[in-house]
Amino acid sequence: MARSRSSSSSSKFRYCNPSYYLKRPKRLALLLIVFVSATFFVWDRQTLVREHEVEVSKLTDEVHRLRDMLEELKSKAVPNDPVEMQRREKVKEAMVHAWSSYERYAWGNDELQPQSKDGVNSFGGLGATLIDSLDTLYIMGLDEQFQRARE
């Protein structure tokens, strides 16, 4: 008599039996490839997470070090050199003179021709001097001129 198959419970567990795969080498190879790929994927993700954590900790240490350096620099008072202050004022006066000439003769144009006192649109009418001087006015503390230029 032929052997009959056992109940459905044995068919559920047949994939767990190694002899099932030994009789089917293609499935054994597929199972091995899936296992190696899954292992590599999990291992790679763990390595990336570990490297990311190390990098974050290094950056955190760097931030703390830079913050300490900043506090140290803030605590040191820099004496105001009278020659340096005089130079700053001269530069500021030159900027105010150039800016007022631009406002008077070439407002809205790209640049001012100083001899003819005419505005020229050499950059297609973008107002290059106006845009370029915004940061200079702000840094020099010329708030009134900065507000007019911004409008």
* Residue 24 pLDDT: 79
How far is the C-alpha of 98 from the C-alpha of 114, rounded, in Å? 10
* Residues 36 and 96 reside in one and the same domain: no
Using pLDDT thresholds of 50, 70 and 90, give the confidence band for residue 117: confident
Number of domains in the chain: 2
More reliable by pLDDT, 147 or 20 = 147
Domain for residue 4, yes or no?
no
Residue 134 has pLDDT above 70, yes or no: yes
Out of 51, 77, 103, a domain closes at: 77
Of 126 and 117, more confident: 117
The pTM of this model reads 0.46
Note whether 107 and 119 are within 8 A (CB).
yes
What's the chain's average pLDDT? 81
The yes-or-no verdict on residue 67 having pLDDT over 90 is: yes
Looking at the chain, list the stretches that DSSP marks H as alpha helix, in order from N- to C-terminal side.
8-13, 18-22, 25-75, 82-106, 128-140, 143-150
In this model, does residue 133 exceed pLDDT 60? yes
Residue 3 domain-assigned (yes or no):
no
Q: Could you tell me if residue 2 is inside a domain? A: no
Structural domain that includes position 59: 9-77
Mean pLDDT of 90-105: 87
Specify if 142 maps to a domain. yes
Name the strand (E) or helix (H) holding 111: strand 111-113
Residue 112: closest CA among 131, 121, 134 = 121
Instruction: For residues 67 and 100, state if they share a domain.
Output: no
pLDDT of residue 33: 92
How far apart are alpha carbons 3 and 122 in whole angstroms? 98
